[in-house]
Amino acid sequence: MDRRQFNSLVALTSLGLVAGATSAFGETEKRLSVIALVHPGMILLDLAGPLTCFNMMMADVHLVWKTMDPVRTDTGITIAPTSTFAQCPEEADVLFVPGGLGGTTAMMDDDAVVGFLRDRSGRSRFVTSVCTGSLLLGAAGLLKGKRATSHWYTRDLLPQFGATPDSRRVVEDGNVITGGGVTAGIDFGLTLAARLRDEKTAKFIQLLLEYDPQPPFDAGSPAKGGPALAASVLSRRSSALEAAKAAVERAARKI
Protein backbone atom coordinates (compact mmCIF):
# COMPACT_ATOMS: atom_id res chain seq x y z
CA MET A 1 0.00 0.00 0.00
CA ASP A 2 1.52 3.33 -1.02
CA ARG A 3 1.25 6.69 0.81
CA ARG A 4 -1.75 7.92 -1.13
CA GLN A 5 -3.72 4.69 -0.65
CA PHE A 6 -2.94 4.73 3.07
CA ASN A 7 -4.05 8.34 3.50
CA SER A 8 -7.23 7.68 1.56
CA LEU A 9 -7.98 4.67 3.77
CA VAL A 10 -7.43 6.72 6.93
CA ALA A 11 -9.66 9.50 5.65
CA LEU A 12 -12.37 7.10 4.57
CA THR A 13 -12.31 5.36 7.94
CA SER A 14 -12.29 8.62 9.90
CA LEU A 15 -14.85 10.58 7.94
CA GLY A 16 -17.01 7.88 6.45
CA LEU A 17 -16.58 9.43 3.01
CA VAL A 18 -16.63 7.75 -0.36
CA ALA A 19 -13.60 9.08 -2.26
CA GLY A 20 -14.62 11.35 -5.09
CA ALA A 21 -18.29 10.65 -4.50
CA THR A 22 -19.72 12.21 -1.36
CA SER A 23 -18.89 14.89 1.18
CA ALA A 24 -19.15 14.59 4.94
CA PHE A 25 -22.82 15.46 4.52
CA GLY A 26 -23.72 13.02 1.79
CA GLU A 27 -23.51 15.49 -1.10
CA THR A 28 -21.82 14.62 -4.37
CA GLU A 29 -18.73 16.76 -4.86
CA LYS A 30 -15.90 17.11 -7.33
CA ARG A 31 -12.61 15.61 -6.25
CA LEU A 32 -10.08 18.36 -5.56
CA SER A 33 -6.53 18.62 -6.89
CA VAL A 34 -3.65 20.11 -4.90
CA ILE A 35 -0.11 20.79 -6.09
CA ALA A 36 2.15 21.10 -3.03
CA LEU A 37 5.76 22.11 -3.55
CA VAL A 38 8.16 20.14 -1.38
CA HIS A 39 11.68 21.52 -1.12
CA PRO A 40 14.88 20.87 0.85
CA GLY A 41 14.89 22.59 4.24
CA MET A 42 11.11 23.00 4.36
CA ILE A 43 9.45 22.86 7.76
CA LEU A 44 7.64 19.54 8.05
CA LEU A 45 4.80 21.00 10.12
CA ASP A 46 4.16 23.65 7.44
CA LEU A 47 3.17 20.77 5.17
CA ALA A 48 1.67 18.34 7.68
CA GLY A 49 -1.07 20.63 9.03
CA PRO A 50 -2.49 21.67 5.65
CA LEU A 51 -1.94 18.17 4.21
CA THR A 52 -4.10 16.69 6.95
CA CYS A 53 -6.93 19.05 5.98
CA PHE A 54 -6.42 18.36 2.26
CA ASN A 55 -6.61 14.62 2.84
CA MET A 56 -9.77 14.94 4.89
CA MET A 57 -11.32 16.82 1.97
CA MET A 58 -10.37 13.77 -0.14
CA ALA A 59 -8.11 15.84 -2.39
CA ASP A 60 -5.61 14.37 -4.81
CA VAL A 61 -2.38 15.82 -3.40
CA HIS A 62 0.67 15.95 -5.64
CA LEU A 63 3.89 16.41 -3.64
CA VAL A 64 6.04 18.03 -6.31
CA TRP A 65 9.79 18.55 -6.65
CA LYS A 66 12.33 18.71 -9.47
CA THR A 67 13.14 15.01 -9.14
CA MET A 68 11.70 11.98 -7.39
CA ASP A 69 14.57 11.98 -4.88
CA PRO A 70 13.54 12.20 -1.20
CA VAL A 71 13.44 15.76 0.17
CA ARG A 72 14.96 16.34 3.61
CA THR A 73 12.91 18.54 5.94
CA ASP A 74 13.94 20.61 8.96
CA THR A 75 13.37 17.65 11.29
CA GLY A 76 15.58 15.29 9.30
CA ILE A 77 12.52 13.34 8.19
CA THR A 78 12.41 12.99 4.42
CA ILE A 79 9.40 13.45 2.18
CA ALA A 80 9.04 11.35 -0.96
CA PRO A 81 7.78 13.44 -3.90
CA THR A 82 4.91 11.90 -5.83
CA SER A 83 5.58 13.88 -9.01
CA THR A 84 8.19 16.03 -10.73
CA PHE A 85 7.62 19.51 -12.12
CA ALA A 86 7.37 18.03 -15.60
CA GLN A 87 4.93 15.28 -14.61
CA CYS A 88 2.50 17.05 -12.30
CA PRO A 89 -0.93 18.25 -13.49
CA GLU A 90 -1.14 21.40 -15.59
CA GLU A 91 -4.11 22.68 -13.57
CA ALA A 92 -5.12 22.42 -9.92
CA ASP A 93 -7.60 23.72 -7.41
CA VAL A 94 -4.75 24.68 -5.08
CA LEU A 95 -1.10 25.58 -5.56
CA PHE A 96 0.50 25.36 -2.11
CA VAL A 97 3.98 26.39 -0.90
CA PRO A 98 5.16 25.50 2.63
CA GLY A 99 7.94 27.50 4.27
CA GLY A 100 11.22 27.05 6.08
CA LEU A 101 13.59 30.02 6.29
CA GLY A 102 16.72 28.36 4.92
CA GLY A 103 14.82 26.41 2.29
CA THR A 104 12.83 29.33 0.92
CA THR A 105 15.92 31.54 0.92
CA ALA A 106 17.65 29.03 -1.36
CA MET A 107 14.56 28.53 -3.53
CA MET A 108 14.19 32.26 -4.26
CA ASP A 109 17.43 32.02 -6.25
CA ASP A 110 16.29 28.89 -8.08
CA ASP A 111 14.88 29.87 -11.48
CA ALA A 112 13.35 26.42 -12.04
CA VAL A 113 11.33 26.60 -8.81
CA VAL A 114 10.26 30.21 -9.30
CA GLY A 115 9.35 29.56 -12.93
CA PHE A 116 7.31 26.50 -11.99
CA LEU A 117 5.28 28.46 -9.43
CA ARG A 118 4.72 31.29 -11.88
CA ASP A 119 3.53 28.83 -14.54
CA ARG A 120 1.15 26.83 -12.37
CA SER A 121 -0.25 29.88 -10.55
CA GLY A 122 -2.12 31.00 -13.65
CA ARG A 123 -3.89 27.65 -13.83
CA SER A 124 -4.76 27.20 -10.16
CA ARG A 125 -7.97 28.35 -8.49
CA PHE A 126 -6.09 29.29 -5.32
CA VAL A 127 -2.46 30.32 -4.88
CA THR A 128 -1.41 29.69 -1.31
CA SER A 129 1.38 29.41 1.23
CA VAL A 130 2.20 28.97 4.89
CA CYS A 131 5.01 30.63 6.82
CA THR A 132 7.93 31.84 4.67
CA GLY A 133 6.41 30.10 1.68
CA SER A 134 4.91 33.50 0.88
CA LEU A 135 8.41 34.75 0.06
CA LEU A 136 8.54 32.22 -2.75
CA LEU A 137 5.15 33.40 -4.01
CA GLY A 138 6.54 36.92 -3.92
CA ALA A 139 9.68 35.90 -5.81
CA ALA A 140 7.41 34.50 -8.53
CA GLY A 141 5.63 37.86 -8.78
CA LEU A 142 2.39 36.48 -7.35
CA LEU A 143 1.88 38.94 -4.47
CA LYS A 144 1.86 42.25 -6.33
CA GLY A 145 -0.99 44.39 -5.02
CA LYS A 146 -2.03 41.68 -2.54
CA ARG A 147 -2.35 41.62 1.22
CA ALA A 148 -0.31 38.73 2.57
CA THR A 149 1.33 37.33 5.65
CA SER A 150 4.37 35.26 6.50
CA HIS A 151 6.28 34.20 9.60
CA TRP A 152 6.41 37.26 11.86
CA TYR A 153 10.16 37.71 11.41
CA THR A 154 9.97 37.90 7.61
CA ARG A 155 6.66 39.74 7.21
CA ASP A 156 8.45 43.08 6.78
CA LEU A 157 10.11 41.75 3.61
CA LEU A 158 6.81 41.35 1.74
CA PRO A 159 6.56 44.99 0.53
CA GLN A 160 9.64 44.41 -1.65
CA PHE A 161 7.38 42.13 -3.71
CA GLY A 162 4.63 44.73 -3.95
CA ALA A 163 2.57 43.14 -1.18
CA THR A 164 0.96 44.74 1.85
CA PRO A 165 1.93 42.84 5.02
CA ASP A 166 -0.89 41.74 7.29
CA SER A 167 -0.37 40.32 10.77
CA ARG A 168 -3.49 38.14 10.79
CA ARG A 169 -2.98 34.40 11.13
CA VAL A 170 -4.57 33.72 7.74
CA VAL A 171 -4.93 36.40 5.08
CA GLU A 172 -7.26 36.10 2.09
CA ASP A 173 -6.99 38.45 -0.87
CA GLY A 174 -8.91 37.20 -3.88
CA ASN A 175 -7.56 33.79 -4.81
CA VAL A 176 -4.34 34.32 -2.84
CA ILE A 177 -4.43 32.83 0.67
CA THR A 178 -1.38 33.02 2.93
CA GLY A 179 -0.86 31.64 6.43
CA GLY A 180 1.43 32.84 9.18
CA GLY A 181 4.24 30.89 10.78
CA VAL A 182 4.25 27.10 11.10
CA THR A 183 1.28 26.32 13.39
CA ALA A 184 -0.96 28.64 11.36
CA GLY A 185 -0.98 25.84 8.80
CA ILE A 186 -4.02 24.23 10.42
CA ASP A 187 -5.90 27.54 10.53
CA PHE A 188 -4.96 27.95 6.88
CA GLY A 189 -6.15 24.45 6.01
CA LEU A 190 -9.51 24.98 7.68
CA THR A 191 -9.93 28.37 5.99
CA LEU A 192 -9.26 26.77 2.63
CA ALA A 193 -11.67 23.92 3.42
CA ALA A 194 -14.41 26.50 3.93
CA ARG A 195 -13.57 28.14 0.60
CA LEU A 196 -13.29 24.90 -1.37
CA ARG A 197 -16.21 23.12 0.28
CA ASP A 198 -18.20 25.04 2.88
CA GLU A 199 -18.07 26.19 6.49
CA LYS A 200 -19.92 23.11 7.69
CA THR A 201 -17.24 20.84 6.23
CA ALA A 202 -14.45 22.97 7.73
CA LYS A 203 -16.07 22.76 11.17
CA PHE A 204 -16.48 19.01 10.77
CA ILE A 205 -12.75 18.67 10.06
CA GLN A 206 -11.85 20.97 12.95
CA LEU A 207 -13.85 18.90 15.40
CA LEU A 208 -12.47 15.64 14.03
CA LEU A 209 -8.94 17.01 14.52
CA GLU A 210 -9.93 18.25 17.99
CA TYR A 211 -8.34 21.53 17.01
CA ASP A 212 -9.00 23.59 20.13
CA PRO A 213 -5.70 25.38 20.86
CA GLN A 214 -4.92 26.03 24.52
CA PRO A 215 -1.16 26.69 24.56
CA PRO A 216 0.66 26.28 27.86
CA PHE A 217 2.28 29.70 27.45
CA ASP A 218 0.95 32.94 26.00
CA ALA A 219 4.07 33.71 23.96
CA GLY A 220 3.07 32.84 20.41
CA SER A 221 3.61 36.29 18.91
CA PRO A 222 6.12 39.11 19.46
CA ALA A 223 3.42 41.19 21.13
CA LYS A 224 2.58 38.42 23.58
CA GLY A 225 6.11 37.15 24.10
CA GLY A 226 7.46 40.62 24.73
CA PRO A 227 10.40 42.57 23.28
CA ALA A 228 13.11 40.68 25.14
CA LEU A 229 11.97 37.28 23.89
CA ALA A 230 11.45 38.58 20.34
CA ALA A 231 14.93 40.11 20.37
CA SER A 232 16.38 36.79 21.49
CA VAL A 233 14.72 34.95 18.58
CA LEU A 234 15.91 37.58 16.08
CA SER A 235 19.44 37.45 17.46
CA ARG A 236 19.67 33.68 17.16
CA ARG A 237 18.32 33.78 13.61
CA SER A 238 20.18 36.89 12.50
CA SER A 239 22.44 35.17 9.94
CA ALA A 240 19.54 33.31 8.33
CA LEU A 241 17.41 36.45 8.28
CA GLU A 242 20.17 38.47 6.63
CA ALA A 243 20.51 35.78 3.98
CA ALA A 244 16.73 35.85 3.42
CA LYS A 245 16.75 39.63 3.10
CA ALA A 246 19.51 39.48 0.49
CA ALA A 247 17.63 36.77 -1.44
CA VAL A 248 14.44 38.84 -1.39
CA GLU A 249 16.31 41.85 -2.76
CA ARG A 250 17.76 39.75 -5.60
CA ALA A 251 14.39 38.21 -6.39
CA ALA A 252 12.61 41.56 -6.28
CA ARG A 253 15.02 43.01 -8.86
CA LYS A 254 14.12 40.18 -11.26
CA ILE A 255 10.41 40.99 -11.19
Residues with catalytic roles:
131
**For residues 174 and 197, what is the distance between their CA atoms, to the nearest angstrom?**
16
DSSP character at residue 140? T
CA-CA distance, 249 to 64, in Å (whole number)?
A: 26
Contact between 47 and 77 under an 8 Å Cβ cutoff? The reply is no
- 10 Å CB burial of residue 242 (0-12, 13-18, 19+) is exposed
Residue 234 Cα distances to 123, 179, 200, 238, 243, angstroms: 37, 20, 40, 6, 13
DSSP 139: H
Distance CA 152, CA 201 (A): 29
Distance separating alpha carbons of residues 191 and 38, to the nearest angstrom: 21
The DSSP element (H or E) to which 61 belongs, if any, is strand 60-65
Provide the 8-state DSSP code for 163: -
Distance CA 247, CA 175 (A): 26
